Each structure stands twice: as structure tokens, then as C-alpha cells.
Amino acid sequence: MNRTVAVTLGLVSAFGLLLGASTPASAKDLIEYFQPTPIVGSLSSSAWGAAAVGPRDTQNGLEDATMKNYCYWDGQIMRGPDGKYHMYASRWAQSKGHSGWGGSVAVHAISTNVIGPYVDQGMAYTDSNGKGHNVTASMLPDNTWTVIVSDTRPGDIFLSNAIDGPWSFKGSITVNANGLDSSGTTKNLSLVILPDKSYLMATRFGTMMTTPSNLLGPWTVQAAKVFTSPAGYPSGSREDPVIWCSGGQYHLVYNYYDLRKARHMVSPDGIKNWKDMGLAYDPTANFIRYTDGTVNHWYKLERPGVFLENGHVSAFTFAAIDVDKASELGNDTHGSKVIVVPFDGATFDTDTGVAGNACSTYSANSGVPSTGSTGGASGTGGTGGTGGSTGGTTARDAGPSDSALPKDTGAGGASGGSASGGTVVTGGTTVTSGTTATGGNPASGGTTATGGNTASGGTTATGGRTASGGTTAAGGKPASGGTTATGGNTASGGSSAVGSTGGTTTATGGTAPTSTGGATATGGLPTTGGTAQPSAGGSVASTGGASGTTVTNASSSGCAFAPGPGARHPMSIAWAFAFACGLAWRIRSRRRR
């Protein structure tokens, strides 16, 4: 690159920064977006578990702190109408060791803090003595709720009108293979709701299947085994997918149980064209850390789950075990629990999001939202316009508008008539946690700011404020040998100032600039052969008179000028202008004496 090109690029880059131009952040692996975990209780070095885990907070997530009763697994969080966080998980007797998972039951736990502690409320339902494993849960578009269990049961569906039950068993899912591989389609189920309110399910081996409205199906296999096989990752140990939509695209995280690592994939429609994006998590890395810097290293993390707030993942849940499963024998100091790890989903979606794609406003991973969704970026048009007081149509993370449940009040585009927030923040036209953000109808001063009332763009200013012609031009004393120079009344629209030198009136030359916008330019009273003729509506400022120069924006020294159509040679005008300035300065100096 030669020096000239380098300097030019540097200046362009600097100019972009001055204008506030943003440069997309470089995409990172998903593991890099996990955040430090707040300490809810205190860090204990004497809690159950292998020493390698490190000092940990027993009040994070869901666990039996004594490790004398239960081992916990799975873990899906939803926020209820009561403002509390409800987790659906599985548990079994600690005395059975990890192999006791085959006899697990589905349980319901509640916390006032998304991090925990979650208090076990007992079995979620009594059907089949509460039997259930690979437990997940979701709010549905009709404001009902579902708990789905699999592996120990063939994809069984429970429904309720309330987040905490009572739950009714509706049956087991049915699957239409559609000519594709349907193995594993009743295991490790993860649900997402599509924009048209139909359902998409990811299954154990990465098979994607859909159903129009009935959770029982039939579910039609649309794509089989979409998991990729990066170098060094054995294809035979893939399981535990979790699927969600944010930032205008679908995300899939799945676990390699042999390697104890997980991968992250994205797809535009959640069915096909999946692309591997890199490492999702690795328990040997330092990604589970507390706000004081303490790091935990669980031996294995499985059954990932996500909790979305305002359309972005704000936390992951993991089933965590401190030793290899074969070494967890029961009645010892080892076991498993559900942990909650904060995640910076807003930044993640900004970095990886895709503009123009839409996610459903019905989120299967959030429940009732706690705050409104963002209507768009700040508007820039207009003078002092506001983007609207509320975020437009009431937005919900899940389910349609319902007066019985809390509503979101989304924030519209910030001040400005022209909303650069026509494109939704964090990629995509639709905000996941609210209603679809649209550009709105054009408003004077710019396009309508998203998420609110039509941005008026401030005071209607088609061309800005009323153009002021400056203060009265100096030279009010009689000019030598002629008529008194009026000095020009203040030209509040860019009109010409009138003066005379040596008895010959200096009239404005040609047509004065048209005043666009603001009030009608009064333009003073220019001379037209001795007859005053006001300018009309900010159009022609003055007409007639001998050819001369139109004085625009005259300063207090009376030195500003612009050559008219009949102006003389530029050098002559320059000398005359310089002389006039000097004369005006001397007259003012004498006055001050």
C-alpha cells in the first residue's frame, strides 16, 4: 500500500469515527460471551464435590446442598406472571448414584432471582408417579404452558393454564419420518416457536422436525442429523441440543459427551443450512467464574438450556457433575446439580446477528417478559424530535397480548425524526422479545422512528430555522456626497442590505437567495428605483435597482457580501469591499471615541 492510499484510508477512518460510524464487532466463539456470576450466598470450600471444582456458591441454581437426598439434572427457566423464576428439572435419589437417572421424576422449583437459589416445590405432576427425564418447558402462543419429557418417556406432553400447574398429560408425540432418518426423535427434545406460531423441535441426533399447531403432532422430519463434525470431534458422541432464535437467526448448541465440550451452530430458518460457529463451552476453560474472580471447573456440563430476556439469551443452565458419571456412586461426596451462568446475549446478537431476518415474538425460552423490547436505534432526523414515548404495540416475549398478564412497554427510537432504528437493534427487522419493529410511515423530518408514535422530527423545519441576516450593517452615518446609507435593515431571510455611496444608490443585483423554511423572510425594504418593495414569502428578496451586490448575512462590521449577476470584475469588487470595510471600521472607531 503506497503512502498516499494509506493516508487517505486513515483520514476516511478518522472521519467515520467523528461521524459516529460504527464498525461491526468481530465475531467470537460463544464461550467468550459468558459473564461473571453474582455470588448469591457465599463461596464454600467444604461443599460436596471434587476439590477440582473449587470454592462455589451452593445457592446458585438448584441443588441439594447436603447431597443426602437428591441429584438434579436438566433445568429450563421461565419467568412467570408472578415475576418469579420457575425452573423445570429432573431429580433422583442420591443414594442411587448417577445411574439412578433412569428413575428420575420431573420437578418444579422457584426462585426470586434468575441465578438462584431455586427451591424444590416437589414433583411437577403425579402422572406415572412423576416419572420424567430430559425435562424442558415453555410458554405457548395461546398463553398456556407445556412441560415436555423424553428419553425415559417417548416424548410426552403435559399442558397447563398456569406456569405452576396443575399439569394434564396429553399423550406422546407421533413422528412422520418424511422419508428421512427419524432415529432419536423422542429424545433430548428442545422446542422453539416459529414466527407463524408453528413449532420446531430439535432432537437428540440433530434431527429437525415441525408441526403446524398440535404439540402431539404428527411431527414431520424436515432435516436429519444437521450436526457438523469439525476436525477432532467424533460424530458418535453428539447429543443434548438446545435451539433458540435471536439476532435474526437460529442457534443450536449441542454437546459432545465424550470430549466434554460443546459446539455452536447457526441457521437462517432453523431447519437447513446450518453452519458451525465454533466452541460453545468447555468445562476445562475458565468461563464459569464469579464476580470476585473465583473460577469453577465442573468435570462435565450437559443438557444446556437458555433463558431469554428481551429477545436475547441472558443466562444458560447446565446439568453439572463433579466427577465422571461412572465415579458418582451415591452416598458419597459427589453428585450433580443445575447451575446458572449469566450470558451477554445482547452483545452476542449485535456481533453475530443478521439484519432482515425475523424471530418469533413468542419465545419458548423466556415465559412472561420482565421488561419491554427495544424498538430500534436512536433516530437522527429532525430538530429535537422524539421517537415516541412508548415502544409501539405492546410486546411480549411469549404469547399474544393478554390483559391478565404483564405487558411490555418497549422503548421507541430515541430523539429524532429520522429513525436510524428502522433496522432493529441486534440484527434483524423483528425484535424477538416484542412485536415486529417496522420503519413506520415517513414523517416530516425523516422516517418514522421505530417503536413509537410517528416522529414529527421536531418543529417543522423544511430548511432549518429562519435564516437570520445578521445584525444591522454598520454605516448608518451619511456616506460622503450622497444619501444616507441605511446600513440595511436586518435581513432575516437573507435579504439584501441597502446602502449608497457618492449619491448613487447601491441596489441589490439580481435575485436574492430564496429563503427555504421558517417564517416568511421579511428581507428589510430593498430599494427598487427609490420605491420600497418587500420580499414575498422568503422568495425574491429584492429586485430592480442598479446592478450591484447583494449583502447577505451582514455582520456588525457590514463587510459580508456576495456578487450579483451584474457584478463587476472580482478584483474591483474585492478592492471596493475592502475599502468599504475599512471605512466602516473608521466610522465606528470615531463613534466610540
Q: Which CATH architecture has domain 26-33+65-281+346-352?
A: 5 Propeller (2.115)
Grid cell for residue 33: 460471551
* C-beta of residue 88 within 8 angstroms of C-beta of residue 111: no
Cα separation, 64 vs 349, whole angstroms:
35
Identify the H or E element spanning 266. strand 261-267
Contacts of 502 (CB under 8 A, 6+ apart): 479, 480, 481, 482
Q: Output the pLDDT for position 140.
A: 96
Domain segments of the chain as ranges? 26-33+65-281+346-352, 372-460, 499-592
Cα separation, 244 vs 348, whole angstroms:
13
- pLDDT tens, N- to C-terminus, the chain (593 residues): 444 333 333 333 333 333 333 333 447 999 999 999 999 999 999 999 999 999 999 999 999 999 999 999 999 999 999 999 999 999 999 999 999 999 999 999 999 999 999 999 999 999 999 999 999 999 999 999 999 999 999 999 999 999 999 999 999 999 999 999 999 999 999 999 999 999 999 999 999 999 999 999 999 999 999 998 898 898 778 999 999 999 999 999 999 999 999 999 999 999 999 999 999 999 999 999 999 999 999 999 999 999 999 999 999 999 999 999 999 999 999 999 999 999 999 999 999 998 877 798 877 788 876 543 333 333 333 334 343 433 333 333 333 333 233 333 333 333 333 333 333 333 333 333 333 333 333 333 333 333 333 333 333 333 333 333 333 333 333 333 333 333 333 333 333 333 333 333 333 333 333 333 333 333 333 333 333 333 333 333 333 333 333 333 333 333 333 334 344 444 444 444 555 555 554 545 444 44
pLDDT tens for each residue of 495-523: 333 333 333 333 333 333 333 333 333 33
Sign of the Cα torsion 568, 571, 573, 575 reads negative
β-pairing, 219-223 with 175-176?
parallel
* C-beta of residue 216 within 8 angstroms of C-beta of residue 174: yes
| Three-state SS at 359 | coil
The count of C-alpha atoms lying within 13 angstroms of the C-alpha of 65, restricted to the half-sphere facing its C-beta, is 17
The CA-atom distances, in angstroms, between 412 and each of 439, 440, 450 are: 11, 12, 6
Integer-rounded Cα radius of gyration of the chain: 36
Question: Could you tell me what percent of the chain has a pLDDT over 70?
Answer: 58
Cα separation, 256 vs 301, whole angstroms:
10
Beta bridge partners of 338: 62, 319
Cα separation, 351 vs 303, whole angstroms:
25
From the DSSP assignment, how many helices (H) and strands (E) are in the chain? 3, 30
Residue 279 has φ and ψ, to the nearest 5°, of -70, 130
Cα separation, 290 vs 259, whole angstroms:
25
Cα separation, 519 vs 492, whole angstroms:
9
Amino acid (one-letter) located at 400: P
Cα separation, 54 vs 43, whole angstroms:
9
First to last CA, the chain: 63
Identify the CA nearest to 409 among candidates 427, 389, 429, 423: 389
pLDDT tens for each residue of 243-282: 999 999 999 999 999 999 999 999 999 999 999 999 999 9
Tell the burial category of 371 from Cβ atoms under 10 Å away from its Cβ (0-12, 13-18, 19+). Answer: middle
Identify the H or E element spanning 570. helix 570-592
Grid cell for residue 332: 458419597
